[in-house]
């Protein structure tokens, strides 16, 4: 079973590690590839949400040609605060434990939702993906 408190503790310890960049190369690559897929969409999306953002592995690669504003959501304040912001894209950072039921967005207010690693170790992803259709 997925223990959220243990995961939060692990994330905060990782955020405090001065050598964290040495270990994030795979997450960095996944984030780049996910954000690169957004360039394949033929229209500009105004509002993006990056759930399970961590250190902004997807968010940091978003460019103004595909999105105007991105909301990065993660349960770890330490990871979110160390995430670099992309140039020319407005970034809002929200520290919250996302379970899919309490997202702070009104219906039809989000154009695209990304998540590079949300499903890893999470037992809530199936219910969460159903909930996303509302936004």
Higher pLDDT, 100 or 70: 70
Length of the chain: 135
Q: What is the pLDDT of residue 108?
A: 87
Q: Mean pLDDT across the chain, nearest whole number?
A: 82
pLDDT band at 46 (very low <50, low <70, confident <90, very high): very high
**Residue 30 · residue 21 · CB < 8 Å:** no
How many percent of the chain have pLDDT more than 90?
Answer: 23
Domains of the chain, first to last: 4-132 (3.40.50.150)
* Mean pLDDT of the 67-81 span: 92
Burial 2-25 (b: 16+ CB within 10 A, else e): eeeeebbeebeebbeeeeeeeeee
Q: Is the pLDDT of residue 113 over 80?
A: yes
């Amino acid at each position: 079973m997925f223990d959220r408190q243990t995961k939060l503790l692990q994330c905060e310890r990782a955020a405090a590690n001065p050598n964290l960049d040495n270990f994030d190369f795979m997450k960095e690559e996944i984030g780049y590839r996910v954000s690169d897929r957004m360039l394949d969409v033929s229209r500009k999306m105004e509002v993006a949400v990056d759930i399970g953002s961590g250190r902004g592995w997807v968010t940091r690669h978003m460019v103004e040609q595909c999105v105007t504003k991105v909301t990065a959501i993660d349960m770890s304040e330490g990871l979110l605060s160390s995430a670099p912001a992309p140039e020319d894209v407005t970034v809002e950072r929200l520290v919250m434990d996302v379970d899919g039921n309490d997202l702070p967005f009104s219906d039809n207010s989000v154009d695209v939702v990304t998540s590079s690693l949300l499903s890893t170790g999470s037992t809530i992803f199936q219910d969460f993906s159903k909930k996303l259709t509302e936004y």
